[in-house]
Amino acid sequence: MTICRQFLELRPAISQQLFRFLVVTTATIALMDHGFANVTGEGDVSPAGPTDLPIGGGTATADVIVGDDSFGRLTIDAPAFTDPLNSPNGFIGNMPFGVGQVTVSGFDLDQSAWDVDTLFTVGVFGQGFLDITTGGRISVGDDTGMQSVFTTGEIIIGDQLFSQGTVNVNGFASILETQTMTIGNLGFATLDVSNRGTLRSEFTRIGNEPDSIGRVTLTGLGTRWINSGTTNDDFVVGYEGRGTLGIFDQALATAAQDVIVGRDGGSRGTVRVSGQGSLWLIDDGSGSGGEDLDIGTSGVGEIFISAGGMIRASGTTTVGATSFVNLATGGVLNSGGVTLNGVIRGDGRIESELTIDGTGELRNAADATNLREYTYVTGEVTNGGLIESLGGEMEFESAVTNNFEIVARDAVMRFNGGLTNNGSLTLGGDTTIYGPVSNVGGGDIHVLSDSETLLVGDLTFSASSTLSLSIGDAPGTLDVLGLTDLGGAMLVLDYSAGVAAQEGDTYQILTSGDGLTGMFSNSQVGAGGLLWDIDIQSEAVFVTATALAVPTLAGDFDGDDDIDGFDFLSWQRGFGSSFGAGDLADWQAGYGTSPGPLAAATSAVPEPTSIALLMLGGVLAIGRRSRSAV
């Protein structure tokens, strides 16, 4: 070490950074003369001496800083029988102009390792780059020795505003482990784990503070993130910032505590799980089933599950009103119960009971090549929002109770456990329904014009339910292969599509292969300014327009013995010389009047709440919310 002593004598005349670089470099050369190198520092690395920075492994006398305010590089590799580097703390890319690069590489009898007592940061204010490859390891904090559970220690990637931290964990037995892991504290952070690399932590935040961006990607069979969660803190993707977690190609991530995706207002959390065998397992393994998944607490949560990937939560899953789950090509959401306030859409399985609240939507469709999206739900479904299929296929293994709205157009709907319809069931296009459908709770079935609906099963109505058919160029038809019990339901012919009824018009509106029982509650239907006879035969129902209806109310422009939105449309379009030329003031004064028994035939259709809405749209709402297509 004669050269080092000469530099010590010259040290006052040499800048601190140059001295540091030369000392570390000469120490490296000296060690290489013996054929091995374990800890090698280049450039802006401190501590800088072969004693302070042990080149053969051992304990550093101070925090190890790589790239304090300029460029620095540290390499730790693993010849046999060398000790790991140990330091109180470690910082890579410390100050705003600091750029640090660290490589921990090698697996030969003993792992090449850097053990840090308390805090390890990649990108403090500057730029930090860390590669852990081919069996290298960085451990931060105290390990209990029991399943690598850490009681202390913290890793931060992308710490302060404008910082950048990039970490790559690649290869068999390559490990990054600690108690607390923050990816994107205030800065920008990426963490990639691949080729059987491993992360271990107790609790995690990805995208912690506002304006932070954190991204974690796990790729490949054998790649794992084990988050044991013994501290009872949540695993959060998007705490106040933007967080992204990707699990691909048979990788595995576990969380033994509750998980939140999109926690606080302004945050956005995104999770992608793709590939057969790719799994995010939210379960502590105790069998108690208490680990929940919350998608969009106050922020926005986005979940994408595709190509057979799975998210499995032993507790409940909640999808917030501004959040969604997108299923594609067989994605699976498995949970102890799903509450939906946002949207679940697409092609895949929901292996859970499902409760859809007022703002919730379950949707699928046909894609541009006319391939059906297929949605399969295993548990019981209670719908207080919207279930909609536009060209897709939905299958419900257990009972479905609809308390608000189901829409099916050119769709296939399989209710294997039966459908109890207490709300609105709107059917259009070429639609097929499988399973018994019961409307005993006051449900409405509305068949759109120019559509053909086939029901493979029995159909049951009650006195509080309604069968409504729209009349366009042709009426909607409902064909039932099973038994139909009319049960005293109301029959409504909806002429809001704007087609003028003509005396003598006859429509077959319902067929029932196993026969018809019961009657409609109204013996005649007032619609389109005409009276209609109802002819119920053994297996079919026909309606025939017989004569002009005589209005008994001023403002009853369509002659159906009430004053509602249909009368406004008749006045607006002038249908029928007897009724269409009346005074709008009569309609305004009598709106909502329904004195006669025939009024029930049309009053079942929800009315607009203001004249302004009708004048703006000129189209009467037909009993369902306006919803965008999937």
| HEC letters along 552-588 | CCCCCCCCCCCCCHHHHHHHHHCCCCCCCCCCHHHHH
d(CA 526, CA 524): 7
Amino acid present at 568: F
| pLDDT band at 450; cut points 50, 70, 90 | confident
DSSP-derived secondary structure for 106-143: -EESEE-EEEEEEEEEE-SSSEEEEEEETT-EEEES-B
DSSP-derived secondary structure for 34-62: TT--SEEEEESEES-STTTTTTTSEE-SS
DSSP reduced 3-state for 338: strand
Greater confidence (152 vs 183) lies with 183
| Spatial contact of 361 and 386, defined as CB atoms under 8 Å apart | yes
Could you identify the residue written with the tokens 């018009």?
A: 505
Cα pseudo-dihedral 548, 550, 555, 557, rounded to 10: 0
| Mean pLDDT, residues 163-176 | 96
Task: Collect all residues with Cβ–Cβ distance below 8 Å to 345 and sequence separation of at least 6.
Answer: 324, 325, 326, 327, 361, 362, 363, 364, 630
Determine phi and psi for 46, rounding to 5 degrees: -140, 150
Instruction: Work out whether strand 343-351 and strand 374-377 pair parallel, antiparallel, or are unpaired.
Output: parallel
Give residue-wise pLDDT tens across range 24-45: 433 333 333 333 347 888 999 9
Determine phi and psi for 295, rounding to 5 degrees: -105, 100
| Tally of CB atoms within 10 A around 136 | 29
d(CA 132, CA 103): 6
DSSP reduced 3-state for 18: helix
Amino acid present at 364: N
Greater confidence (56 vs 493) lies with 493
| pLDDT band at 560; cut points 50, 70, 90 | low
For residue 615, pLDDT over 80 is answered with no
d(CA 260, CA 483): 48
Q: What pTM did the predictor assign?
A: 0.81
Instruction: Work out whether strand 85-92 and strand 58-59 pair parallel, antiparallel, or are unpaired.
Output: parallel
| Spatial contact of 324 and 344, defined as CB atoms under 8 Å apart | yes
Q: Which two tokens stand for residue 233?
A: 């803190």
**CA-CA distances (angstroms) from residue 506 to 474, 531, 534?**
11, 12, 10
Give residue-wise pLDDT tens across range 467-505: 988 877 777 789 999 999 999 999 888 877 666 777 888
**Residue 597: per-residue pLDDT:** 35
Q: Which two tokens stand for residue 115?
A: 């053990």
Q: Which two tokens stand for residue 279?
A: 């799994």
| Spatial contact of 571 and 563, defined as CB atoms under 8 Å apart | no
d(CA 287, CA 236): 22
Q: Which two tokens stand for residue 331?
A: 């994605």
For residue 71, pLDDT over 80 is answered with yes
DSSP reduced 3-state for 351: strand
Greater confidence (505 vs 90) lies with 90
Can you name the residues that pair with 480 across neighbouring β-strands?
455, 512
| pLDDT band at 281; cut points 50, 70, 90 | very high
Q: What percent of the chain has pLDDT over 90?
A: 60
